[in-house]
Chains A and B, each alone.
Chain A
Amino acid sequence: MRDENQLHAAVVELVAMDDATIKYSTVQNWYPGDAEGRGGIYNFVTKRGACRGARSKISWTQVETGSAITWKYPSCILQGEGSVGEFYSVAVTTNRQQADTGTKMIHIGANTRSTIVSKGISAGRSNNTYRGLVKILPKAAGARNHTQCDSLLIGDQCGAHTVPYIESRNATAKVEHEATTSKIAEDQLFYCRSRGLSQEDAVNMIVNGFCKEVLKELPMEFAVEAQKLLAVSLEGSVG
């Protein structure tokens, strides 16, 4: 017998100077292990971004479908005045997978803005966690953050967790956070099926709709791949 797990531990660092924009997109589909959770990649990744320059922008987009365990929190340190951080994420877990992912938006400079959109889909016996920090420091006058975290559960053996931290030390900053957890509504499924879609196609369509806000951030050819990947990942998880 030998250990069937592999470790992927990458580090990515982004630095954006005045008026620069970096868009970093990832579609991750490492081997997730078998249905019983044997084997698979441990995907422990460090990603961080520094918006050093005025009006600089770093935008992280990720679609996470693979790996046995994912821990990944791409961050943006918003130092430059008027700099912008974005985090768009779709994480799908099935079988015994665990995904624990989110972001850190550290607002240091004035008029910095950040947007977080996280969509978690859990199926099988998996666990899917959003964990994120929005921190507004005293000098970040006029800072803005909007966070939307939505979780979708498929089946009654999985878990969906949301752990946001919000810390504000500037009165003129405005932070908004919304999170919802729901399952695919029976009436949505029924509506699709009464128009002739199979159960599986209906779920795919609804899941793709659920993730649309994030998928539209991906480059076109990537987005097509990602959509297919979502369908493949969820194959067989709807009974």
Chain B
Amino acid sequence: MNALAAGSQGFLARFEGLRDRLPGDPALRAAAAAAFRANGLPGPRDEAWKYTSLRPLAEASFHEPLVPLADCAALLARLPAIEAPRAVFVDGRFRADLSAAPPGVVLDHFAASPDFPGLARPQRDSLVALNTMLAEDGAIVTVPAGVDGGTLMLASLATDTPGRAVAFHPRHVIRLGAGARLTLIEVSVGEGSYLHNPVTEILIAEDAVLTHVRLQDEAARSFHLATLYAEIAARGTYDSFSLTLGARMARSEVHARLAGPGAATHLNAAQLLSGVQHADFTTVVRHDAPGCASRQTVKNVLAGRSRGVFQGRIEVARIAQKTDGYQMNQALLLSPDAEIDCKPELEIFADDVKCSHGATVGELDPAQIFYLRSRGVPEAQARAMLVRAFLESALDAVSHVQARAALDHAVTLWWERQAA
């Protein structure tokens, strides 16, 4: 048995022990378990996992989280100062005592009201099968039609129990009714060694707008493997930005389907890595209706021996005429030992489309550094300015003022850690 297959066994055993107590449709759980048993963890022969090996995950072993009302004051203090109600999850479990909903927004949780909207594809995506098999809790957020739900922070805190790495597989569902609006700020922080494997399903009805800002600042020894599905109806918008800073191994996979005419999505991201970190941002945007627009700006800043991966596919169905698809991905290598792998793909079946992608890989421009230095800016500060400038075109897409400030602050802290 190879390492990946062996790594699957622990999760399957956990399912057998837990299956009678899991909320929701048992048939769905059993089907997901069958898919996970058949496919196992994805390996190097899976094209979608060409650049990200799950061997380190397979070689680790995970326990179920303990359920105490752990004291997480230190972790709560690490959440960005954004004035908004929070839905707080500790080791994957909903903490009603720490949570509240914005006015007009219905906040429920998966353990109490299990919900499988059917966007996720456990048959195709193994980590989603793993999640579907083992999910115990998650946020179920509903913004009724016409309601502006303001801002909600979705916080995932992982506590440290030394010697006992835990795995949790939250299942989140975000639903916006017709014309509804919400800004969702998702923050993941933690301590110690753990696996955070969330699946998020997002349904955006006609004319609704979801702004989704994600800040992944997990513990240095953790695994963060997130899969997100969004379906956007006519004239709806899914506008997202993901900042990846943490975890020894991270993958953020996004499947956005533009299902109705005039729908739009922005999948912007930045990954700032150092040490031996590995982070993978993988997206599939499916244009399934005419007149839709997708925009992506993805930046990687790689220090130390880190490795950044970007895979982005734009699919345009035959019906999706007048598609406007744009994707830009840029990587900055700050160290001789860093590595970047990108695969920006276009798959187009309609003729009246405007699709483009661009990719650049390089280091900081010595002429720019010299120019700044010749104006009196010390070299370290010049480099910091240029890295910040490099990130600007991605960060600029974040219009929520407090979220933008929180991201800027996180970038500054990251840079200070590198300089130290």
A residues with a Cβ closer than 8 A to B are 136, 138, 151, 153-183
Contacts and interface: CB of A to CB of B under 8 A. Distances in A.
Interface string B352-385: 1111111111110000000000000000000000
B336 interface: yes
5 contacts: A161-B347, A161-B348, A164-B359, A167-B342, A168-B340
Contacts of B362: 171, 173-175
A151 B346 contact: yes
B360 A170 contact: no
B335 interface: yes
Contacts of B318: 156-157
Contacts of A171: 333-336, 338, 362-363
Contacts of B321: 156
B353 A164 contact: no
A160 B348 contact: yes
A169 B339 contact: yes
Contacts of B346: 151, 160-162, 179, 181
Nearest to A172: B363
A162 B340 contact: no
Contact of A181 (B339, B340, B353): B353
B343 interface: yes
A159 B357 contact: no
Given A171-B363, A172-B363, A183-B353, A166 B348 contact: no
A153 B361 contact: no
B12 interface: no
Contacts of B232: none
Contacts of B342: 165-167
A37 to B, nearest CB: 17
A180 B314 CA distance: 12
Contacts of B358: 176-179
A179 B355 CA distance: 8
Contact of B347 (A159, A170, A175): A159
B349 interface: yes
Interface of B: 318, 321, 331, 333-336, 338-363
Q: Is the interface of A mostly helix, strand, loop or mixed?
A: strand
Nearest to A171: B333
B341 to A, nearest CB: 5
B354 A182 contact: yes
A182 B341 CA distance: 26
Q: Which 6 A-B pairs have the closest CB atoms?
A: A171-B333, A153-B351, A177-B359, A175-B361, A162-B346, A181-B355
Q: Which of A155, A163, A171 has the most CB of B within 10 A?
A: A171
Nearest to B340: A168
Q: Which of A138, A158, A162, A183 has the most CB of B within 10 A?
A: A162
Contact of B351 (A136, A170, A174, A183): A183
B350 A180 contact: no
A158 B333 contact: no
A82 to B, nearest CB: 19
A177 B328 CA distance: 10
A155 B339 CA distance: 40
Contacts of A182: 353-355
A179 B344 contact: yes
A170 B336 contact: yes
A61 to B, nearest CB: 24
A120 to B, nearest CB: 10
A158 B349 CA distance: 6
Contacts of B356: 178-181
Nearest to B334: A171
A175 B360 contact: yes
Contacts of A176: 358-361
B311 to A, nearest CB: 10
B354 A174 contact: no
B343 A163 contact: yes
B343 to A, nearest CB: 5
Contacts of A173: 361-362
A175 B310 CA distance: 15
Q: Which of B333, B334, B346, B359 has the most CB of A within 10 A?
A: B346
A160 B356 CA distance: 12
Contacts of A166: 340-343, 359, 361
Nearest to B313: A163
Contacts of A169: 338-339
Contacts of A155: 351
A170 to B, nearest CB: 7
Contact of A159 (B339, B341, B348, B361): B348
A159 B346 CA distance: 10
Nearest to B349: A159
